[in-house]
C-alpha cells in the first residue's frame, strides 16, 4: 500500500501543480471565467490515462506463462526509464515550470478559440503525469493486491490534492525543493527495485540465465521477509526485495541505485544554477 501511495503523492502532486499554476495565473489576470476549459482538459487527460491503463492491463491479463512474465518485465523496464527521466527533468526544470505554463496560457488566450486552446494546454500537461502514474501502477500490480493498490493510490491522490491546495493558497510556505528532493530519492530506490524485479521476471521466464542458481543469499526461512507477509510485500513493492535474489538482480539493483542516486544528489554546478 505504501509504494502506490508514495508514487501517487509524487505523480499526483506534479499533475495538480500544473493545474494550480494555470489557475493561479488565470486568477492574476482576472480570467477565472476560463477555468471550466482547464477542468475539461484535466478530465480528458485523466480519462485517457485510465483508458490506457485498462487496455494494457486487459491485454497483459490475457497472457499466461512466459508471455505474462515478459510483459510485466517490459512494463517495469519502461516504468524505470520514464521514472528516471521524470525525476531528473523535474530536478532541472522545477524553476521554469511556472513561466513556461504562463507563456502557453498566453498563447492560448491569443488563439481564435480560447476555450479549446486552454483545454489542449491542460490536457497535454496532465496527460504526461497520468501516463507515468499508470505505468507505475501496472508495474506494481503483479505483486500488490487490487485493494491495497487502489487504497494506496487513492490516499496518495488525496494528499497530493491537499499539497496542491496549499500551493494555491500560499505556495511559498511549502518547501517544494525539499519535497521533490526527498520524493526523488524514494522514487530512485523504487526504480532500482523495479529493475531488479524485471530481471527476476526474465529469469523466471527462462529468457535470462544466472551464474548462481542458489542465489546470493537465501532468507526464505525467515517468514516475515517473504511475500506471504505484509512486511515482505511492502519490501518487495517499494525496494524490490527478494529473499533469494540472483546475482543479476543484485547487480541490477546496485548498478542502478548507486550511479543514478549519485547523479541526482550531487550539487548543481554553478553554471547550471546561473542558467536556471
Residue 133 parent element (H or E): helix 114-140
Residue whose C-alpha cell is 491522490: 157
Residue whose C-alpha cell is 553554471: 271
Closest CA to 13 of 143, 163, 141: 163
Helix, strand, coil % in the chain, rounded to nearest 5: 80, 0, 20
- The Cβ of residue 79 has, within 10 Å, a number of other Cβ atoms equal to 24
The pLDDT value recorded for residue 117 is 84
DSSP state for residue 269 in the 8-state scheme:
P
Closest CA to 120 of 101, 143, 97: 101
CA distance 267 to 188: 17
Burial per residue of 196-227, b for 16 or more beta-carbon CB atoms within 10 angstroms, e otherwise:
bbbbbbbbebeeeeeeeeebeeebeeeeebbb
Q: 62: Cβ–Cβ under 8 A, 6 or more apart, which residues?
A: none
Q: Can you give the pLDDT of all 276 residues of the chain as single tens digits?
A: 667 787 788 778 888 888 888 888 888 888 888 888 889 988 999 899 889 888 888 887 777 788 888 888 888 898 889 888 878 877 766 666 677 777 888 888 777 788 788 888 888 888 888 888 888 788 777 666 677 778 888 888 888 888 888 777 765 555 667 777 777 888 888 889 889 889 988 888 888 888 876 778 888 788 777 777 777 777 777 777 888 888 898 899 999 999 999 998 887 654 444 444
Closest CA to 16 of 101, 93, 76: 101
Residue 165 parent element (H or E): helix 146-170
The pLDDT value recorded for residue 256 is 94
State the pTM of this model: 0.75
CA distance 244 to 195: 16
Burial per residue of 106-119, b for 16 or more beta-carbon CB atoms within 10 angstroms, e otherwise:
eebeeeeeebebbb
Q: 86: Cβ–Cβ under 8 A, 6 or more apart, which residues?
A: 14, 132
> Considering just the CA atoms, what is the radius of gyration of the chain in Å?
21
The pLDDT value recorded for residue 96 is 63
Helices of type H across 62-113: 66-93, 97-109
Amino acid at each position: 500500500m505504501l509504494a502506490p501511495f508514495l508514487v501517487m503523492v509524487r505523480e499526483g502532486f506534479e499533475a495538480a501543480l500544473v493545474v494550480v499554476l494555470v489557475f493561479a495565473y488565470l486568477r492574476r489576470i482576472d480570467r477565472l471565467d476560463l477555468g471550466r476549459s482547464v477542468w475539461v482538459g484535466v478530465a480528458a487527460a485523466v480519462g485517457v490515462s485510465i483508458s490506457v491503463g485498462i487496455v494494457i492491463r486487459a491485454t497483459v491479463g490475457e497472457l499466461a506463462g512466459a508471455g505474462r512474465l515478459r510483459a510485466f518485465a517490459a512494463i517495469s523496464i519502461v516504468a524505470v526509464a520514464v521514472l528516471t527521466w521524470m525525476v531528473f527533468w523535474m530536478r532541472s526544470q522545477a524553476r521554469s515550470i511556472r513561466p513556461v505554463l504562463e507563456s502557453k496560457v498566453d498563447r492560448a488566450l491569443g488563439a481564435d478559440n480560447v476555450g479549446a486552446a486552454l483545454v489542449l494546454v491542460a490536457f497535454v500537461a496532465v496527460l504526461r503525469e497520468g501516463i507515468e502514474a499508470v505505468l507505475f501502477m501496472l508495474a506494481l500490480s503483479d505483486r500488490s493486491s487490487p485493494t491495497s493498490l487502489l487504497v494506496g493510490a487513492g490516499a496518495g491522490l488525496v494528499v497530493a490534492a491537499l499539497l496542491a491546495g496549499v500551493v494555491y493558497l500560499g505556495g511559498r510556505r511549502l518547501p517544494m525543493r525539499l519535497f521533490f528532493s526527498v520524493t526523488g530519492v524514494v522514487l530512485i530506490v523504487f526504480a532500482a527495485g523495479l529493475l531488479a524485479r524485471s530481471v527476476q521476471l526474465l529469469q523466471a521466464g527462462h529468457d535470462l540465465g544466472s551464474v548462481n542458481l542458489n542465489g546470493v543469499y537465501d532468507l526464505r526461512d525467515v517468514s516475515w521477509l517473504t511475500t506471504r507477509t505484509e512486511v515482505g510485500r511492502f519490501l518487495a513493492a517499494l525496494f524490490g526485495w527478494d529473499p533469494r535474489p540472483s546475482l543479476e538482480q543484485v547487480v541490477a539493483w546496485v548498478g542502478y541505485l548507486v550511479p543514478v542516486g549519485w547523479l541526482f544528489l550531487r550539487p548543481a554546478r554553478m553554471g547550471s544554477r546561473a542558467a536556471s
